[in-house]
Structure 1
Amino acid sequence: MTSNVDTGARIPGPVGSPVLGQALELRRDMLRTLDDGFERFGDVVSYRLGPAALRRQVIAVHHPDAVKQVLTEREVFGRRTRSLEVLTELFGRNLVTTDGEAWTRQRRTLQPLFTPRHVLEYAGVMREEAHDFLTRGSVTAGEVVDLVPLTENYALRVLGRTIIRDELVMTDVIGAFNTLVPLIGKVVRERSMKAWKIPLRVPTRETRQFMEVRAQLYGLIRQILVRRSQRTDTPAEPDLLDRLREARDPETGAALTPREVADQALIMLVAGHTTTSNALTFTLYLLGRDPELQEAVAEAARADGLAPADDLVVAAIKEAMRMYPSAYAIGRRTRTATQLHGFPVPAGTNVLISPWVTHRHPAYWERPDVYDPSRFIGPSDRPRYAYLPFGGGPRNCIGEHFAMLEATVLLRTLLREFTITSESADLPVSQLISLRPTGAVPVRFTPRKARG
């Protein structure tokens, strides 16, 4: 793809219908629409939404240089998009939904809890849950099982034990989340894609369902907090909820408010488990289609200890997240007029980054539709923002180290004991809050023969 450099040029893009522009196409299948726009128009594409008199513009950027600009120039590219407003309505004001000084204060306060050194403290819990994953009936040798609930339960149990350390509450939370997660994606997508956002106080079918999901989410958090307040024992090690309460802003010494603790715990449960479970599901599915590659990854998994950063097990997960990034689209809105990859962009313009597209950019990824973990072994000259499964810039996901360690531990444990065979040729995906499989992902686990 060649870049446009004429600063007076109009950004190219599809015309769409006279009434709705590209609105229906983006709503029905955003990824297909963005792929098509990239193929036809290049690294910067303009999409027009709505009738001419009310038309809005969304600019999609795919080149790593443009992606870097959007994610790092915070004074130009703000985050107050429609999607973020909806997430704030649902999840409150946490590290994902806040901006400005409130976000800076929360990030300073929480960052020490998620350094690689602190995350390693949870490796023992992850290993125990990975072992239990094999022994408590999750994996049935020789039978076809659905990967989705298996990986979701593992991720939720790890988070449950690290955040709340209460087996009874954890069991209730897992059961509720298995029902709630698809509903969360549905209500957020529906509300984000509406031409006009109806106030929540207006009792429509959409707003009632949205409010019901929100009530259930905060009901779960209240249940956790009440149980914690009634606990009389003193655990040997503080859990993440304890650490959230004890955390202090290193500059001011201020603690999080009780509402902030609840909001942070909620978003960690929702966002934390979906990222890991999706990465594991896609990785196992892809390895299950390539027995030779799977054997190479299994051989690496037999090494003692945790995998180093350039290990093939880690590379298998990274490559799955390249092909199926959980955060498949990231929105921003220009605060001021600017230049973006050679084009003028007015203030108030919605800008869209799609890791799904950038992760397939042929200038940086040879055979981008092929699953090839070797891309992540050894040094690479790819730009930093050619790969961004955890975002980038100052708002890079704080839970990246936790999620990668959690996924690596289970994958190593599984591949030591079983071979995985994918039973479906295709893997349809749903474009909700995160990219997740549509329906079941059937696989067969076969015990490995003992190595003599």
Structure 2
Amino acid sequence: MAIYQAVAEWSTDLTFYAICTVFIAFIAYCLYVRHIHAKYDHIPGPPRDNFLLGHIPTLRKATTSDFVIHDRFLEWTEKYGPVYRLYGFHYVTIVVTCPETTKEILMSPKYTKDPLVYKRIFNLFGLRFLGNGLVTAMDHDVWYKQRRIMDPAFSSSYLRGLMDTFNERAECLMQHLEEIAEEGTIAKMHRLVNCVTLDVICKVAFGVDLDLLKNPDSPFPNAIELCLQGMLHYFRDPFFRLSPWNKKKVQEIQDAVKLLRTTGAKWINQRRKAVENGEDVPKDILTQILKTAEELKVDGEEDHELMLDNFVTFFIAGQETTANQLSFAVMELGRHPEILKRAKEEVDEVLGTRHDIQYEDLGKLTYLTQVLKETLRVYPTAPGTSRWLHEDMVISGFKIPAGCSVLFSSYITSRMEKFFKDPLTFDPERFNPNASKPYFCYYPFALGPRSCLGQTFSQMEAKVVLAKFLQRFDFSLVPGQSFDIKDTGTLRPRSGVLCTIKHCLKSTS
């Protein structure tokens, strides 16, 4: 009996000590948070929602509602100026819209990507996701080695050779739209262009034909959608995974990550065998991924995972932003008949009735280029990027202590009257070759050494698809639909851009 009593007393003591330890740790952490915040409280910014959580409740609310968080950032910029601070626990983010600082930081390789942001998408709910791929690599030397190896797959000579694929996949969309026009049904443009851009990246990057317009049951579009949802929750809601109500959604996201990485492993192994058998293989992204391992002269488990990191990176990034840009462009053209008329006239002048678009044609479609650039100004599909401040810095007169993230948002600066007159007005003339150019406040593909490798690829593809569409079809937006933005991490049209379409009244060849 005495033994049981001793054990009970001992257990009680352990519980008491554990509670005391947790309480002391909590108090210590609160003091640490207060210390960190005190270093940055001289910088203007919105009041915290909560002492410990900082501004996380605002981010969580935006994630679960129809509100676009970037609009709140824009409001805060207009209220607090070109530099302000946000808190989340002990983590500090400085939002900057000053062009000079944007240039200084983004154009320099010494400012690394924010490790607390990009390390979060190394894994996604416990599964390796983007890992150490080209977008997420923190170390400049590691990134540079990968970028140098990938460059040939995006050289101008190689991109010229992709015109046949761009034409081919865009023609598949035109044929599908012809059926919709004949049937008199509604064209859901975002879904359709999403199929095309995913088809293109799979064909030119990995040598695989998905033909999603004919195979709508493919699991890949939904897998990408789930991964984007997962990243959004991962960034803005640290408590998402802890909720039992989200268990099913977390599992779906994990299954999506597994599907993409399993598919990547399968396609990489098929290409590796083709190379070993001496078969001719294209100089595409998949070949460059294999070349990475060959040049580094390593083939361990981590190197295999790195190849999959880059596969998933290009699989998602290679289609998502282009599809969103095309959808927004169609939406704005439908809302502005005078701009649509001018764009169609240019397409007719350059192409006539010729369906095959040549590389040389792209440079002649100057107004269409302006339309696409203006689309990315109003709707930057990847709205921002961040860098880590590893040394003290003065920004707009404020001393910013080292050890924080600096957020740059093309969405914010592109919608500021300070930089663009009547910023919410869709006006392609802003990008007329003779117009004055914005100074480090328009960067939909980021800036400097870590700018998007695929931006030329993306804009070539967008121009081919949009030119063919305007050449062949007249369209109007279905009345009553929303023109709002849906924030999925990337930005897309909430309505999906619903159109009624019909054949243009002119001869075709």
1:188 counterpart residue number: 231
Counterpart mapping for 1:355-366 below 5 A: 355-366=410-421
2:503 counterpart residue number: 447
Question: Which of 108, 111, 132 is the aligned partner of 1:93?
Answer: 132
Question: Which of 78, 82, 89 is the aligned partner of 1:39?
Answer: 78
CA distance in 1, matches of 2:459, 2:44: 38
What is the CA-CA distance between 1:196 and the residue it aligns to?
Answer: 7.0
Q: Which amino acid in 2 is paired with 1:221?
A: G
Counterpart mapping for 1:48-87 below 5 A: 48-49=87-88, 54-75=89-110, 77-87=111-121
Q: Which runs of 5+ in 2 are unaligned?
A: 1-39, 63-67, 124-128, 352-357
Q: CA RMSD in A?
A: 3.1
CA distance in 2, matches of 1:139, 1:374: 35
Residues 1:82 and 1:441: Cα distance change in structure 2 (over 3 Å) = farther
Q: Is the 8 A contact 1:65 1:341 kept in 2?
A: no
CA distance in 1, matches of 2:364, 2:80: 37
Q: Is the 8 A contact 1:359 1:368 kept in 2?
A: yes
1:3 counterpart residue number: none
Question: Which of 268, 287, 292 is the aligned partner of 1:242?
Answer: 287
What is the CA-CA distance between 1:139 and the residue it aligns to?
Answer: 5.8
Counterpart mapping for 1:146-161 below 5 A: 146-161=188-203
What is the CA-CA distance between 1:337 and the residue it aligns to?
Answer: 1.6
SS of corresponding position for 1:318? helix
What is the CA-CA distance between 1:309 and the residue it aligns to?
Answer: 7.0
SS of corresponding position for 1:78? coil
Counterpart mapping for 1:88-237 below 5 A: 88-89=122-123, 90-100=129-139, 101-136=141-176, 140-141=180-181, 142-167=184-209, 175-195=218-238, 208-228=251-271, 234=279, 237=282
Question: Which of 276, 297, 308 is the aligned partner of 2:343?
Answer: 297
1:11 counterpart residue number: 43
Q: Is the 8 A contact 1:22 1:48 kept in 2?
A: yes
Deviations 1:257-285 (A, max 9, x none): 54433322221110010011011111011
| Larger Rg computed on CA atoms | 2
CA distance in 2, matches of 1:320, 1:375: 11
SS of corresponding position for 1:333? strand
CA distance in 1, matches of 2:317, 2:167: 21
More displaced 10-residue stretch of structure 1: 25-34 or 400-409: 25-34
What is the CA-CA distance between 1:291 and the residue it aligns to?
Answer: 1.6
1:429 counterpart residue number: 485
TM-score, with length taken from structure 1: 0.86
TM-score, with length taken from structure 2: 0.77
More displaced 10-residue stretch of structure 1: 428-437 or 58-67: 428-437
CA distance in 2, matches of 1:178, 1:139: 22
What is the CA-CA distance between 1:45 and the residue it aligns to?
Answer: 1.9
Which of 1 and 2 has higher RCO (CA within 8 Å, sep 6+)?
1
Deviations 1:270-324 (A, max 9, x none): 0010011011111011101112210110111120342217701111111111111
More displaced 10-residue stretch of structure 1: 93-102 or 416-425: 416-425
SS of corresponding position for 2:162? helix
Residues 1:196 and 1:336: Cα distance change in structure 2 (over 3 Å) = farther
Residues 1:253 and 1:121: Cα distance change in structure 2 (over 3 Å) = farther
Q: When you count helix as a share of all residues, which structure comes out higher?
A: 2
CA distance in 2, matches of 1:238, 1:184: 28
Counterpart mapping for 1:296-335 below 5 A: 296-302=342-348, 303-304=350-351, 305=358, 306-308=361-363, 311-335=366-390
Q: Which amino acid in 2 is paired with 1:413?
A: K
Q: Which runs of 5+ in 1 are unaligned?
A: 1-7
SS of corresponding position for 2:407? strand
Residues 1:329 and 1:374: Cα distance change in structure 2 (over 3 Å) = same
What is the CA-CA distance between 1:204 and the residue it aligns to?
Answer: 6.6
Q: State the identity %.
A: 22
